[in-house]
Amino acid sequence: MALPHEIVLKNKEVNQVDLSAVSGDLGILADHVPTIEQLKPGVIDIMADSGAEKYFVSGGFAIMNPNSVLNINAIEAFKLEDIDAQAVASNLAESQRLASNAKDEITKEAAAIEVELYEALQSALSAKSK
Amino acid sequence: MFARSAITTRTAVPALNAVGQTRNMATLKEIQNRLKSVTNISKITASMKMIASTKTTRAQRAMNVARQYGQVSNDFVKQSEVKKAENAKEILITASSDKGLCGGIHSSLSRYSRRYLNEHPDTPLVVIGDKGKVQLQRVYPQNIAYSFNQIGSTIPTFDESSGISSVILSDKAIEFDNAKLVYNQFVSAIAFETSEIENFPISQIVEAPNFKAYEVQEEVLENLNEFLFANTMHWALVEGHAAEMAAKRTAMENATKNAGDMIQRLTLQYNRGRQTVITNELIEIITGASAL
């Protein structure tokens, strides 16, 4: 799993990876059919023999190759523990306000993307605490 | 007769000595000035070398990450075994920067680009960085579609790379299939090599022999195209930046060494000059004293 500024995971043997893709949520096991999926802002759950790790990614692509290597390119990824719920709530309110007050298309689109991100963050955090 | 000859010699020699002395004095002042200025320059180049070394270590770390990021992104392209289409329209993107004093970085990039443009004169050109732009503008001004600056003084961020790629992609006036990114590959701390990364468009990747294995939805293909382009751009920019910092360090190290050599030479010259003046004065005094 690679980010432009950090390689989060490299050559890790895993059993299953759950992704949140634009086409829907899916779980990828070894020898999964090669696919290319665009990722929504959401949680990637990586299950290995050593335990499960959850990362929240801002978006990117996950590509399953025929040689059973899953490549994930994301822009930002953080462990759920590192995310501040308060900041998420206040930023969500801010972006919702921006989205409703936006004058032109571009600002509206950008604000809508932010809203989607923060809503996904919130649901991820609440799912974790459940 | 003896006294007369002594007087004549006495007047002659001091006159010569006076001229010799003034000449030596002027030379001494000159040498002193040169020494001062070279010492200042060597201090500047030494500090620039320090700065470049710290920037190099940081840039190298970022480069290792960006390289892997770009390679991961291009992994499926390689596995699909894409071949370049016959009449693929190409665009050349030269990743240089704004700052100089880095050895042969920019000239090497422009030489590579010029060689390519010689063979393919119709290729649109995008130049990143003022130094590269200035060099390429002289020879191929009509090819330059876009130029970017303010890149390269710090480690390029993904924001910048994706910004540049989206500008290029969204301009409908520039049509291209393949993109060749010309950049400086970081070979080692003292060596770099100008090379290129080939970025294939998704339309060609889809035709590739092994791509049939991949299941993918139509809607994401265009996004994938842009993402791939931005990732490759990011790799080229960050690695180019690391190569530049390393070259800058080497250039400043050489400059400091040369300045040091010059200082040594000048100091020797100065000391010899000073000693000559003193010796001449002594001779004068002694001759004068012995004539009395």
pLDDT of the residue at B25: 57
pLDDT at A130 exceeding the cut of 70: no
pLDDT of the residue at B108: 93
Q: Which of B62, B79, B231 sits opposite A73 (nearest CB)?
A: B231
Q: B43-55 burial, b for 16+ CB within 10 Å, e for fewer?
A: eebbebbeebbeb
pLDDT tens profile B39-72 = 999 999 999 999 999 999 999 999 999 999 998 8
Q: Which of A7, A61, A71 sits opposite B65 (nearest CB)?
A: A7
State whether residue B214 sits within 8 Å of chain A by CB: yes
This prediction's pTM: 0.83
A67 contact residues in B (CB cutoff 8 A): 79
Total number of residues shown for chain A: 130
In Å, what is the CA distance from A121 to each residue of A1, A78, A91, B87? 19, 11, 11, 46
pLDDT tens profile B228-242 = 999 999 999 999 999
pLDDT tens profile B254-275 = 999 999 999 999 999 999 999 9
Confidence tier at B2 by pLDDT (50, 70, 90)? very low
pLDDT over 90 percentage in chain B: 51
Confidence tier at A84 by pLDDT (50, 70, 90)? confident
Which region among A33-37, B35-39, B81-85, B151-155 has the lowest average model confidence (pLDDT)? B81-85
Alpha carbon of A27: minimum distance to chain B alpha carbons (Å): 15
Whole-number CA gyration radius for chain B: 31
B127 in Cβ contact with B148 (< 8 Å): yes
Instruction: Mention every residue, 6+ apart, whose C-beta is less than 8 A from residue B229.
Output: B165, B168, B169, B179, B199
A69 contact residues in B (CB cutoff 8 A): 75
Total number of residues shown for chain B: 292
pLDDT of the residue at B26: 64
User: Which of B281, B140, B166, B133 has its CA nearest to residue B234?
Assistant: B166
Locate all alpha helices (DSSP H) within chain B, ordered by sequence. 2-80, 105-119, 130-139, 158-170, 202-205, 218-291
Average of per-residue pLDDT across B181-196: 92
pLDDT tens profile B14-38 = 444 444 555 555 688 999 999 999 9
A45 in Cβ contact with A77 (< 8 Å): no
Mean pLDDT of chain A: 84
Alpha carbon of A58: minimum distance to chain B alpha carbons (Å): 13
How many Cβ atoms sit within 10 Å of the Cβ of residue B87?
Answer: 6
B62 contact residues in A (CB cutoff 8 A): 5
Test A71 with B161 for CB contact under 8 angstroms.
Answer: no
For residues B235 and B231, give the distance between their C-alpha atoms in angstroms, rounded to a whole number.
6
pLDDT of the residue at B276: 93
A38 contact residues in B (CB cutoff 8 A): 220, 223-224
Could you give phi then psi for residue B192, rounded to 5 degrees?
-135, 160
Q: Which of A2, A34, A61 sits opposite B68 (nearest CB)?
A: A2
pLDDT over 70 percentage in chain B: 91
User: Which of B109, B159, B158 has its CA nearest to residue B135?
Assistant: B109
B128 in Cβ contact with B134 (< 8 Å): no
pLDDT at B162 exceeding the cut of 60: yes
Confidence tier at A129 by pLDDT (50, 70, 90)? low
For residues B12 and B284, give the distance between their C-alpha atoms in angstroms, rounded to a whole number.
11
Average of per-residue pLDDT across B98-127: 90
Token readout for B141 is 């001004």
pLDDT of the residue at B15: 44
pLDDT of the residue at A126: 79
Test A2 with B65 for CB contact under 8 angstroms.
Answer: yes
pLDDT of the residue at A122: 82
Interface test with chain A among B60, B71, B73, by most A beta carbons within 10 Å = B73
State whether residue A102 sits within 8 Å of chain B by CB: no
pLDDT at B3 exceeding the cut of 50: no
Test A34 with B215 for CB contact under 8 angstroms.
Answer: yes
A21 to chain B: closest CA residue: B220
Instruction: Return the SS3 of B144.
Output: strand
- Angle between the N-to-C axes of helices B218-291 and B105-119, in degrees from 0 to 180, rounded to the nearest 10: 130
Test B220 with A23 for CB contact under 8 angstroms.
Answer: yes
Instruction: Mention every residue, 6+ apart, whose C-beta is less than 8 A from residue B6.
Output: B291
pLDDT of the residue at B21: 53
pLDDT of the residue at B86: 75
Confidence tier at B248 by pLDDT (50, 70, 90)? very high
